[in-house]
Amino acid sequence: MKNNTNTIEEEARKISSAEFRRRVEEGKLVSLDYGKAGVAVHDGKQTTLKNASEAFDFVKENYKGWALVGENSHFGVPRTNKSLAQPWKSEYLLKLYNELEEKDIVFRFAPQQSTPTTLAYSNFDPIKDKGEVNDSIALHKYVTDHRKFCLKKPPACFEEDSVRKEGYSMKDAMNTSLNASKTNAYGARDPELVEKHLDRLSRNSLDPTINTLKKILGSIKKNTFIDLTARWIYDNIDEIESKLSETSRSAFMKYSAKGSLVGFKMPQVYAVVNSLMGKPDIDENNQLYINDQLRMREYQNELPYWNFAKKHLFCYTPHHQKGGVAASNLKYHGQRHWVASKAKEQGAVFKTVEISAKGRKTTKFKPKFKILQEGNGELFSSLRGDYVKSVQELFNIVRKMLVSEKI
């Protein structure tokens, strides 16, 4: 059993998350799931199937004073013309949330991508056993046993607030910068960088067309791309490295056998730095380049702090969708590999390498539900948390350096 329930505060609700947890521990938890057969209502002892039009009347009549949980995609998102996964429209849902509180029922939403994990935890097969009845049973057990499971409060409205809109706008600008920089090998086509940091550029480049000294020198004769953000990173990487903890160094830096810094993981470092500086721009020759302008919050007129960046720029929240290029660089291309590497040091296998008949290597990462089934769920969560802390550490170091430069 873990610590306090972690909830995302969308809007204030009268009944607290602590009260939700207290009811769970008293055995007063009802879990819901929606599917082809209707809404499955599970209270820990029995499961009742109801159609969508009568399910919540049943809950209100029978579970006053209880905690209620369901998947966000079904119960926290209104129906639109594009999706039938949500049976209820926004007007109904907003009215429902208020009615449930009036009946002293605390409603919370589970992340929609968590179903395979909850099924595996209850020893169901996440593929063969998936269905509204099993899903509701598995969700009930998982919420009961995991106090830190991140649950979301029902919103007071479904309109996007100004902070979220600002996050979307900043993330879109980051996507443009990151895609442009990635296409040009994160600075490997910038003449000034090639002159000053050729050796490190060759060690950092993951692009097979421009990953050696010879290829880089040949490339800039045909095509150049100015990347002022990449210049800042290369000019300051030694200072950044000196301030990182040992764990964070292992996440972002590359060392020789003797322990000297020979390179760093540029896609991940660039993603973090770009949340604080660097926007796509057009120079006097009408050419696209990445400038070194600071990425200021619109209304605060200051650089974003970690909490904003974590939620809106890197999308490190269970309820996010469409994380963007920075999130992909960090989670998909960085975090997965680092977590698997650290797990291997402790005797756990989170990824395998398969070799085809033609000799081609394919890396396969185990899905989280299989890691859970093998008994390594806590190790996985702990290592993933360590990586996020490393991202935070790097972010805060860079932010402090940029603020000092500005003064």
d(CA 114, CA 319): 10
Examine the pLDDT at 20 and tell me if it is beyond 80.
yes
State the Cα–Cα distance between residues 140 and 115, nearest whole angstrom: 11
Compute how many other C-beta atoms are within 10 angstroms of the C-beta atom of residue 74: 22
181 vs 85, residue with greater confidence: 181
Tokens of residue 32, six digits: 């819901």
Q: Tens of pLDDT along 42-78?
A: 999 999 999 999 999 999 999 999 999 999 989 998 8
The rounded distance, in Å, linking the Cα atoms of 348 and 340 is 8
Q: How confident is the model at residue 201 (pLDDT cuts 50, 70, 90)?
A: very high
Measured between alpha carbons, how far is 250 from 163 in angstroms, rounded to an integer? 33
- The rounded mean pLDDT for the chain is 90
Distance CA 36, CA 240 (A): 53
The residue assigned the tokens 């039009």 is 53
- For residue 356, what pLDDT band results from cuts at 50, 70 and 90? confident
Q: Are 139 and 130 in contact (CB under 8 A)?
A: no
pLDDT at 84 over 70: no
CA–CA gap between residue 279 and residue 156 (Å, rounded): 35
Most confident of 79-93, 101-115, 309-323: 101-115
At residue 124, the 3 state secondary structure works out as coil
Spell out the residues 6+ positions from residue 96 whose beta carbon is closer than 8 angstroms to its own.
56, 88
The mean pLDDT of 365-391, rounded to a whole number, is 92
Q: What is the pLDDT of residue 321?
A: 62
* pLDDT surpasses 90 at 348: yes
Nearest to 109 by CA among 74, 144, 81: 74
Question: Using one digit for the tens of pLDDT, what is the confidence trace for 215-250?
Answer: 999 988 888 999 999 999 999 999 999 999 999 999
> Does position 2 have pLDDT exceeding 90, yes or no?
no
Mean pLDDT of 170-188: 93
Beta bridge partners of 152: 8, 109
Band of pLDDT at residue 134, cut at 50, 70 and 90: very high
Burial 200-236 (b: 16+ CB within 10 A, else e): bbbbbbeeeebbeeebbeebbeeebbbbbbbbbbbeb
- The single-letter code of the amino acid at 309 is A
- Answer whether 115's CB lies under 8 Å from 135's CB: yes
Q: What is residue 312's predicted lDDT score, i.e. its pLDDT? A: 92
Average pLDDT score over residue span 350-356: 85
In 3D space, the residue among 213, 316, 228, 342 whose CA is nearest the CA of residue 274 turns out to be: 228
Most confidently modeled of 112-121, 159-168, 375-384?
375-384
Query: Percentage of residues in the chain with pLDDT exceeding 90?
Result: 66
Model confidence band, residue 103 (pLDDT cutoffs 50, 70, 90): very high
Which of 46, 99, 97 shows the shortest CA–CA distance to 75?
97
- The pLDDT assigned to 5 comes to 34
According to the model, what pLDDT value does residue 8 have? Answer: 37
Cα separation of 339 and 398, whole Å?
A: 23
The answer to whether the pTM exceeds 0.85 is no
User: Which residue, among 132, 149, 110, 104, has the nearest Cα to 13 in the 3D structure?
Assistant: 104
Q: Which string of b and e fits 291-316 if b means at least 16 CB within 10 Å?
A: bbebbeeeeeeebbebebbbbbbbbb
Answer for the pair 177, 280: CB distance below 8 angstroms, yes or no.
Answer: yes
Q: Highest mean pLDDT range out of 19-33, 138-152, 354-368?
A: 19-33
Q: What is the pLDDT of residue 102?
A: 93
| Helices within 253-376 (DSSP H only) | 266-274, 306-308, 325-327, 336-345, 368-373
Residue 364: strand pairing partners: 352
Region 301-328: mean pLDDT is 88
Could you say which DSSP state residue 292 is in? -
Which tokens hold the place of 307? Answer: 């909490």
Q: Band the pLDDT of 86: cuts 50, 70, 90.
A: confident
